[in-house]
């Protein structure tokens, strides 16, 4: 296999070297063969110089086209001739350009102007708004930041992840749960990328806010199916978040003051030349919650010095070396800190460096090197450090990666190929305990793994009606030393702890276990007519790292663990099919889609009853291997135009799991299985100053395991499920309506730079006590009864509904920009 | 996290504290719910110690969850405990209330350290057995108090108890720690405290050390002790099986909230000899006990550390 990878890589390099020849006679050479020329360039936002992702470039003469990549780059190869190109993008005024490709390749960088709201009525069609039908992508949701900004989530704060939870196929275990579930996948099965670096915990304050500062985010794309070969490493979805590059035209400052935290963002051009043109720019954005600062005067005694806050800092800079080379550096640093005496803190750090290189008009390379770290620390006493008596505990995951991605633009074909290598360093947990002055360190050794992948994919326009996207990814995983590998008892009844029988020691770099997986990807789009299309897709994905979490909601303290000789990589196969249609007077007023999916999941991690997940060297003996299946239908209607916009989505779904030794070896619904999910988002622009939004969410109650019987042991009332079943009941359904209004403040002079608005919002507006879970316990107070003439106290059983938010939550936020 | 407590600290309380200050609201309301009742099983509650006085094994029948506070007694069973020297002691249900009792003769105590014990029950035509062992237990050296506020929101102060004991060296020990306020056992669901070598599970390195700090103060009621209270602490030696049983019992009866563990049945060590016959629930254990009883008074109150 090594040899294969080696030759594959060499082939790729050779291929790129040949294609990369930036020979001045490239056109004459091509003319001799099949007489073609290429128009290419970057497309940017005229207001701030941001590269625009997904701009459509349409050739009137041929009816063909392409969209810009994640860096705003496009390249179109056409037979020699003169062409009329149309550049269109959502919310921007379209541009027509005539390009002369009769003799040579043309570099054409374009700046698009954002259209004002007032202009909307007069401009005709502005973008390729028929993307829904025309784009080969399926099971993909792009949410424009502008839309996200109009639907404030909790406490008036705009939030990326809370917004994508309003899309079909996306759900959570409940409010406040870390992460999100896509089409029946676990929270650890989403690859959350921030400028191509993975983020291991996307939540602040458990799950109430996400780590993405909306002021620094440019583009959010969620891929739930038909995942192209360029992506890998997680099996359920890709959440690709791209940061803004920073305004390259002028310095801007924006920010907001809310109830829970404040934001401040500065953007500035860099290296301006005499003409005032910048070669680069940067953005730096920060947030910090300040409940602790406000609460300080009210805290006394032991609570003094309590900490409960989070902050994050997002920064990015880019520099255009020349027309062919641009470099980007991005970083994220965030931390949550909680605790009075005993406390914990956790956070992510990511850094990515990227180099965009245009080899020739046809070959584009992006190379990313990233570092990502997630760690947490528990401490028995945050305030006063007693060197004689303390307990603390650290855990985390660190990884480094290099990832070259090539795009080769050919006539009717766009070829992508590249690879990735990731080095993982897992720190499952190191604890220090001191008792009476004696300090002991204990915990688990770090674990190491190497994950590499090579892929090749092609997007092919077969005919005007049929477009294909296919590819193959090969991922190779090595669990390597230094470390110990364990073999466990066999023949233990399913669902019970297995004890280790053999320990083998491995040296640094020595392979302990290797896994390899071929991951085929395929999508096809067939246009039935101008306004409707059918799409189908299949993908297989492999995942080598697992989040060990056995609680209802995943916690910040869950530990990532590698695949080992005992834990097999997770594999998912998904097929999906859909019908896409545009409707309305202008043809694209409404987008409608119906998608069906079926997903098979292998090697799903589950846990024995009473599994011991913390600081357990023999954790693998407490894990079970299960399989899963998820299937459903997603209905989506979106209104794109007019004063009233928004969408309605409905998901009918089922998510089940099968694990030997659980639920009497029968399939059971997962904790996040929801039969029906309805989301309605409505945005209404009343006038230039006022706009309103409403979001409504409904979901079937999630399943829970309820007792059938009970007994008393040592005075405790013990719940018991006589059938030993899992998730045998459902909690009541969830529904919630949020309302928000945005007021743009009047400018005193038309030239005034200062822009500001107020956002007023009400979360959970009818104050429903939505159950997060229903659990059973003995009431705190016991009941006194007379038994055989004696007074005895007996425990009382009760069922308890636990709601994270039991009332409506109003808030106001002030945002500004200058 | 297997439980909403990390090393004895409640994550839920921490979160509630955070949310409270952040002005958010979470809430727990009792609700009515219809549960289907499953088949009835034999429930065993048997814990025997080396302390003087009668020893009791309670047998009841499981009932519907909401009726389980007053479970029907399992009557007419034959209950014996045999040690490895084949000394058999019979437990008799004198009052016909499901409490099967063995009463020692003068000066006799039950059990010897290091010995294994077998419980045998014959009930409704089924034979159930269970095995436990009486392990050694260290002495409690002292029990002292410090004046503190029960929690930061209260202005009154109470007395936080701390006991000192040293883990037995060169062996893995499991303990169950119980405490009593004025003779009444602290029997809230949060009062189940077990320890592994004087520390928490997984910390293989505290062998032979003084019991670590959170364990030393794990014996307090929420409102702390009052002046002149009589406070008793017991350390019971238990088997590894019992240790895991208590961990799971504690997880299951304190379960709930954001980070609840999946509800699962608490394990049992009472086995029906007929593998196809009805299964029992509950646990049988034997323990050696060391204890200390101290009054909250000046002589036992230490200055606050900081």
pLDDT (tens digit per residue) in B56-93:
999 999 999 988 888 899 999 999 999 888 889 999 99
Using the predicted structure, report yes or no on whether residue B194 has a pLDDT greater than 80: yes
| Residue ranges in A202-349 assigned as alpha helix (H) | 291-295
**Parallel/antiparallel/unpaired status of strands B230-238 and B289-295:** antiparallel
Segments making up each domain of chain B, as ranges: 42-135+247-285, 137-237+289-302
Nearest CB to A614 within list B2, B38, B63: B2
Burial class (CB in 10 A: 0-12, 13-18, 19+), B17: buried
Q: Which CATH number is correct for A134-240, 2.20.25.570, 3.30.413.10, 3.40.720.10, 2.170.130.10?
A: 2.170.130.10
Of A174, A610, A801, the CB nearest to B264: A610
In the prediction, which pLDDT does A253 show? 93
Sort strands A36-45 and A106-107 into parallel, antiparallel or unpaired.
parallel
Instruction: Look up the CATH number of domain A25-128.
Output: 2.60.40.1120
Residue where the block lists tokens 């077990």: B194
A16 by Cβ neighbours in 10 Å (0-12 / 13-18 / 19+) ranks as: middle
Q: What does the block give as tokens for A472?
A: 């193959």
For chain A positions 318-347, those within 8 Å of chain B (CB to CB) are 338-340, 342-344
Q: Name the burial class of residue A270, with classes exposed (0-12), middle (13-18) and buried (19+) by CB atoms within 10 angstroms of its CB.
A: middle
Angle made by CA atoms A521, A525, A529, in degrees to the nearest 5: 175
What phi and psi, each to the nearest 5 degrees, are found at residue B289? -125, 135
Number of H helices, E strands in chain B: 3, 21
- Would you call A62 helix, strand, or coil by DSSP? coil
Alpha carbon of A293 to those of A313, A339, B189: distances in Å? Answer: 19, 14, 35
> Chain A, 415-474: which have a CB under 8 Å from a chain B CB?
431, 433, 435-436, 438, 440-442
State how far the alpha carbon of A84 is from the alpha carbons of A87, A154, A530, in Å: 10, 47, 21
Q: How far apart are CA A455 and CA A517, in angstroms?
A: 12
pLDDT at residue B9, as a whole number: 42
In angstroms, the CA A530 to CA A65 distance is 15
Of all residues in chain B, the one with the smallest CA distance to A724 is: B265
CB-based contact A473:A455 (threshold 8 Å) = yes
Backbone CA torsion sign across A231, A233, A236, A241: negative
Token pair in block for residue A666: 């029968």
Question: Cα angle vertex B33, ends B30, B39, to 5°?
Answer: 125
Residue B251 with chain A: CB contacts under 8 Å: 610
B217 touches A at CB < 8 Å: no
ipTM of the complex: 0.90
Distance between CA atoms of residues B262 and A668, nearest Å: 13
Q: Chain-centre distance of CA A41, in angstroms?
A: 29
- Find out whether A439 and A433 touch, Cβ atoms under 8 Å: yes
pLDDT score at A293: 63
Instruction: State the Cα–Cα distance between residues A126 and A122, nearest whole angstrom.
Output: 10
What separation, in Å, do the N-terminal and C-terminal C-alpha atoms of chain A show?
57
Q: What are the extents of the domains in chain A?
A: 25-128, 134-240, 241-769+805-817
Q: What is the pLDDT of residues B114-126, one digit of tens each?
A: 999 999 999 999 9
Give the integer Cα–Cα distance in Å for A757 and A815. Answer: 5
Q: Does A772 touch chain B (CB under 8 A)?
A: yes
Q: Say if residue B41 is preceded by a cis peptide, omega within 30 of 0.
A: no
pLDDT score, position A386: 66
Is the domain defined by A241-769+805-817 classed in CATH 2.40.50.100?
Answer: no
Q: Give the pLDDT score at A496.
A: 86
Helix (H) or strand (E) holding B55: strand B55-61
Record the pTM.
0.84
What stretches of A323-412 adopt beta strand conformation (E)?
Answer: 325-339, 343-358, 363-379, 390-410
Token pair in block for residue A25: 């006679």
Residue B16: its pLDDT value, please? 45
Identity of the residue in B41, B149, B262 whose CB atom sits nearest the CB atom of A302: B149
Say if B253 is an interface residue toward chain A (CB within 8 Å): yes
In angstroms, the Cα distances linking A22 to A80, A324, A358, A361 are: 19, 11, 9, 8
Per the DSSP assignment, residues forming a β-bridge with A374 are A348, A397
pLDDT digits (tens, 9 = 90+) for B198-239: 887 765 577 888 888 788 988 999 889 999 999 999 999 999
CA distance A378 to A398: 18
Residue B181 pLDDT exceeds 50? yes
Over residues B149-174, the mean pLDDT reads 86
Rounded Cα gap, residues B271 and B268, in angstroms:
8
Beta partners for A292? none
Measured from the Cβ of residue B81, the count of other Cβ atoms closer than 10 Å reads 26
Residue A482, chain B, CB below 8 Å: the answer is: no
Torsion of CA A704, A708, A711, A716, to 10 degrees: 20
**Residue from B255, B241, B253, B252 nearest B285 by CA:** B241
Q: What is the dihedral angle through the alpha carbons of A376, A382, A387, A388, rounded to the nearest 10 degrees? A: -100
Q: Residue A126 has what pLDDT?
A: 32
Q: Which residues of A touch B70 (CB under 8 A)?
A: 785, 787, 794
Residues counted in chain B: 306
Residues A655 and A672 sit within 8 Å (Cβ to Cβ): yes
Tell me, rounded to whole angstroms, the distance of Cα A789 from its chain centroid.
64
Judging contacts by C-beta atoms under 8 Å, the chain B residues touching residue A439 are: none
- Identify the segments of chain A with pLDDT beneath 70: 1-34, 115-130, 153-154, 291-307, 340-342, 380-387, 389, 435-436, 788
Percent of chain B at pLDDT > 70 equals 87
CA distance B200 to B215: 8
Tell me whether residue A194 is exposed, middle or buried, using C-beta atoms within 10 angstroms of its C-beta: 0 to 12, 13 to 18, 19 or more: buried
- Give the residue from B164, B202, B247 with the most A CB atoms within 10 Å of its CB, the best one to mutate: B202
Torsional sign, CA B134, B138, B139, B145: negative
């Amino acid at each position: 296999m090594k040899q294969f990878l080696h030759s594959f890589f060499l082939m790729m390099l050779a291929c790129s070297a040949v294609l990369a020849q930036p020979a001045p006679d490239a056109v004459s050479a091509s003319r001799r063969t099949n007489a073609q020329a290429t128009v290419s360039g970057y497309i940017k936002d005229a207001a701030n110089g941001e590269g625009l992702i997904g701009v459509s470039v349409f050739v009137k003469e041929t009816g063909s086209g392409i969209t810009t990549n994640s860096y705003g780059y496009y390249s179109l190869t056409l037979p020699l001739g003169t062409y009329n190109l149309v550049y269109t993008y959502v919310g921007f005024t379209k541009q027509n350009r005539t390009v002369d490709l009769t003799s040579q390749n043309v570099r054409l960088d374009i700046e698009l102007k954002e259209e004002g709201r007032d202009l909307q009525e007069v401009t005709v069609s502005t973008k390729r708004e028929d993307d829904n039908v025309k784009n080969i992508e399926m099971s993909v949701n792009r949410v424009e930041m502008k839309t996200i900004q109009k639907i404030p989530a909790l406490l008036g704060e705009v939030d990326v992840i809370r917004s994508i939870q309003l899309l079909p196929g996306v759900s959570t275990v409940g409010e406040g749960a870390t992460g999100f579930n896509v089409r029946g996948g676990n929270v650890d099965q989403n690859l959350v990328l921030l400028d191509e670096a993975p983020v291991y915990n996307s939540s602040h304050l458990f799950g109430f806010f996400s780590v993405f500062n909306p002021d620094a985010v440019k583009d959010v794309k969620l891929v739930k199916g038909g995942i192209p070969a360029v992506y890998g490493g997680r099996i359920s979805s890709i959440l690709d978040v791209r940061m803004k590059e920073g305004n390259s035209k002028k310095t801007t400052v924006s920010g907001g003051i809310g109830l829970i935290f404040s934001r401040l963002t500065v953007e500035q051009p860099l290296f301006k030349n005499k003409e005032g043109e910048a070669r680069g720019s940067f953005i730096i954005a920060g947030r910090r919650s300040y409940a602790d600062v406000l609460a300080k005067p009210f805290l006394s005694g032991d609570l003094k010095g309590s900490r409960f806050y989070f902050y994050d800092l997002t920064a990015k800079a880019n520099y255009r070396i020349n027309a062919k080379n641009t470099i980007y550096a991005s970083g994220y640093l965030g931390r949550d800190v909680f605790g009075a005496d005993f406390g914990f803190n956790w956070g992510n750090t990511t850094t990515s460096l990227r180099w965009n290189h245009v080899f020739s008009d046809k070959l584009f390379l992006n190379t990313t090197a990233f570092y990502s770290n997630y760690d947490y620390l528990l401490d028995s006493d945050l305030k006063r450090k007693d060197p004689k008596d303390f307990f603390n505990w650290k855990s985390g995951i660190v990884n480094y990666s290099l990832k070259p991605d090539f795009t080769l633009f050919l006539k009717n074909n766009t070829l992508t190929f590249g690879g990735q290598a990731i080095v993982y360093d897992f720190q499952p947990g190191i604890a220090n305990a001191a008792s009476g002055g004696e300090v002991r360190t204990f915990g688990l050794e770090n674990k190491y793994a190497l994950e590499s992948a090579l892929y090749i994919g092609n997007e092919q326009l077969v005919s005007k009606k049929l477009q294909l996207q296919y590819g193959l990814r090969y991922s190779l995983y090595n669990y390597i030393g230094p470390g110990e590998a364990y073999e466990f008892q066999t023949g233990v009844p399913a669902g019970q702890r297995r004890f280790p029988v053999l320990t083998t020691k491995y040296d640094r770099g020595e392979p302990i276990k290797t896994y390899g997986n071929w991951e085929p990807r395929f999508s096809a789009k067939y246009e039935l007519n101008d306004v409707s299309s059918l799409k189908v897709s299949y993908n297989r994905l492999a995942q080598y790292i697992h989040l060990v979490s056995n609680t209802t909601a995943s916690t910040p303290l869950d530990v990532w663990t590698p695949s080992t000789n005992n834990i097999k990589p997770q594999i998912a196969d998904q097929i999906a099919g859909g019908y896409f249609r545009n409707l309305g007077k202008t043809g694209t007023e409404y987008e409608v889609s119906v998608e069906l999916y079926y997903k098979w999941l292998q090697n799903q991690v589950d846990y024995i009853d009473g599994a011991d997940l913390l600081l357990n060297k023999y954790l693998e003996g407490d894990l079970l291997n299960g399989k899963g299946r998820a299937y459903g239908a997603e209905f989506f209607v979106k209104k794109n135009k007019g004063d009233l916009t928004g969408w309605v989505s409905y998901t009918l779904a089922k998510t089940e799991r099968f694990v030997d030794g659980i639920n009497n070896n029968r399939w059971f619904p997962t904790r996040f299985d929801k039969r029906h999910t309805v989301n309605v988002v409505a945005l209404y622009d009343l006038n230039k100053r006022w706009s309103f939004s409403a979001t409504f969410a409904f979901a079937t109650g999630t399943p829970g395991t309820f007792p059938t019987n009970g007994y008393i042991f040592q005075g405790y009332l013990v719940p018991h499920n006589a059938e030993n079943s899992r998730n045998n009941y459902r909690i009541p359904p969830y529904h919630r309506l949020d309302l928000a209004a945005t007021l743009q403040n009047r400018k005193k002079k038309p030239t005034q730079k200062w822009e500001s608005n107020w956002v007023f919002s009400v979360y959970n507006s009818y104050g429903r006590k939505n159950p997060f879970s229903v659990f059973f316990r003995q009431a705190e107070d016991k009941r006194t009864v007379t038994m055989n003439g004696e007074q005895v106290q007996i425990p009382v059983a009760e069922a308890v509904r636990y709601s994270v938010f039991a009332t409506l939550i109003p808030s106001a936020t002030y945002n500004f920009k200058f | 996290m297997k439980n909403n407590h990390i090393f004895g600290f409640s994550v839920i309380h921490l979160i509630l504290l955070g949310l409270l200050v952040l002005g958010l609201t979470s809430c727990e309301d009792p609700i009515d719910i219809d549960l289907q009742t499953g088949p009835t099983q034999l429930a065993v509650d048997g814990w025997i110690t080396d302390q003087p006085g009668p020893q009791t094994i309670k047998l009841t029948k499981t009932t519907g969850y909401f009726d389980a506070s007053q479970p029907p007694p399992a009557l007419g069973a034959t209950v014996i405990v045999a040690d490895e020297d084949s000394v058999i002691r019979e437990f008799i249900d004198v009052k016909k209330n499901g409490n099967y009792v063995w009463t020692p003769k003068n000066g006799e105590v039950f059990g010897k350290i290091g010995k294994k014990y077998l419980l045998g029950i014959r009930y409704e035509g089924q034979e159930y057995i269970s095995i436990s062992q009486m392990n050694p237990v260290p002495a409690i050296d002292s029990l002292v108090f410090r004046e503190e506020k029960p929690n930061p929101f209260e202005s009154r102060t109470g007395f936080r108890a701390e006991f000192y004991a040293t883990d037995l060296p060169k062996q893995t020990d499991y303990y169950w720690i119980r405490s009593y306020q004025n003779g009444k056992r602290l029997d809230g669901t949060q009062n189940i405290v077990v320890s592994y070598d004087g520390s928490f599970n997984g910390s293989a390195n505290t062998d032979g050390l003084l019991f670590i700090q959170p364990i030393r103060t794990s014996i307090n009621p929420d409102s702390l002790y009052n002046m002149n209270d009589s406070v008793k602490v017991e350390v019971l030696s238990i088997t590894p099986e019992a240790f895991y049983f208590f961990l799971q019992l504690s997880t299951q009866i304190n379960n709930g909230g954001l980070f609840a563990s999946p509800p699962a049945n608490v394990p049992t060590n009472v086995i029906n000899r007929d593998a196809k016959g009805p299964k029992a629930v509950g646990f049988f254990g034997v323990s050696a006990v060391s204890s200390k009883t101290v009054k909250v008074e000046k002589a036992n109150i230490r200055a606050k550390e900081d």
